[in-house]
Amino acid sequence: MRFWLLILLACCSFSPALSQPKVFKLVDSLLQADLRFVPAPILFRSPETSWGIGASMGYYFKIDSSARTSNAQLQVVRTFNQQTLFRVSADIFTKDERLFIHYYTGYRKYLDRFYGIGPNSQESAREDFSFNSWITAISVLGKVADQTFLGLNLRHQNMYNIQSRDSLGALYNQLAQGSTGSNTLGFGPEMRFDSRDNVQSPLKGGLIALLFRYNPALNAANPAFQTYLIDLRHYMPLAKNTVWANRIFNQHQSGNPPFRELSLAGGSELVRGYFQGRYRDKSLTALETELRFPMGKMLGATLFSSTFQVGPDPVSLLQNRWKGAYGAGLRIFVNQKERIVLRVDVARTFEGHTAFYLDLNESF
C-alpha cells in the first residue's frame, strides 16, 4: 500500500493543476470533508460469479459546493462459485474541480472460463480455470479547461496461480500468452471531457475519455504491449428523471498482451448478457443504448440493447457479423439525493443465452 501511495503522490506532483504543497492540502481537505455513509446491498449476482454474499459500503461527499459529488467504495464478496472478490475504489473531485482522481485496487481469487481468442471462438472450446490476481489503477487528471481534464494513468496487474481444469485446453498446454501468469505495469496520458451531472447515475451531459497506456517488457514472460481506449457517452434528458443513455466503446492493443489483458466483451458493465471474456481479442468495439425512466418515487426501469465485435485489429471488426444482446431492468433507489441505485438486469444475447445481474449503480 505504501508503494501505491508514493505513486499517487508522484502523479499528483506532475499534474498541471497541483503543485507539491497542494498535495498535502488535498489530503487535509479529504479528511475534513463532509462524509456521508450509504449502506449498499450485500447480495451480488452475475453470470461470472453466480450468487455472492458480502459487505459493501460507500462514502459520498463533496470537497465543497464548487465540485461534483465524490465517492469512495469498499466491497468484499464471497460467491457460491468459491470466488473471493475485494475492491477499494474512489472518484474524487477537488475544489473547483481543479483535479480529478480515480483510484482502484482489487483482489480476485477467481474461477473463470477461456473460450479462445477471436470472434469465431466456439462454446465447445470452453476451458475452466482459476487464478489469483491483484490490480491497481490510478488516474490523476488536472483541469485544463471547463470540464476538461488532462493527466497521467498507471495500471499494474499481477496474475498468478493459474490452474486449468482441462488437460486438452490452451491454457493447460501453455498455448496462450500469459498461461503461466503475468505481471504487467503500464502508464501513459489520459484525457477526459466530463460534463455529466452525476458520475454514478447521470441524467444529462456526456463523457469523452481517451487513454493510451504503454506496458514495457518486464522480462521474457511479459513482453511489451500498448493499449488505446476511447469511451464516448451521452445522456439526453427526455422528461423528468427520464434519460436516453448511449455509449460507444473502443479498445485496441498492439504488441503481445497476456490473454487476460486482451479486450473483453461481456460482464455487468459492458455488453450485458455475455459472460465476460466469452469473446476477446486485441480489438473491441461496442455500442450500447439504454432508456431509463421512473416508476414511482423509489423505483425506476430500463430498456437496453447492445452490439459489438472483436478482432485482431480495427479493420477486422467489419469482416464478421456483429453480436449483440438486449434486455430490461429494475432500479431501486438506495439514495435518491445522490441517485444511487440497486440495479437488477435481465439480458438475452442474439445466440439465445440469458443472464441475470444484481449490482450497484448504472452500468455506464
pLDDT at 26: 54
pLDDT at 64: 83
Residue closest to 198 by CA, chosen among 160, 250, 233: 233
Ranges of beta strands (E only) in 216-312 are: 225-239, 242-255, 263-265, 279-281, 283-294, 299-311
pLDDT at 336: 80
Three-state DSSP class for 318? Answer: helix
pLDDT at 270: 94
Residues of the chain with pLDDT under 50: 1-6, 14, 30-31
What number of other Cβ atoms are within 10 A of residue 351's Cβ?
12
Domain map of the chain by residue range?
2-360
pLDDT at 29: 54
Reading the block at residue 106, the C-alpha cell is 482489487
pLDDT at 257: 96
CA distance 287 to 154: 26
Reading the block at residue 255, the C-alpha cell is 504488441
Topology at the third CATH level for domain 2-360? Porin (2.40.160)
pTM to 2 decimal places = 0.86
The vertex-258 CA angle with 252 and 260, nearest 5°, equals 80
Give the number of residues written for the chain: 364
pLDDT at 213: 98
User: Residue 263, class by beta-carbon neighbours within 10 Å (0-12 exposed, 13-18 middle, 19+ buried)?
Assistant: buried
Three-state DSSP class for 72? Answer: strand
What number of other Cβ atoms are within 10 A of residue 324's Cβ?
19
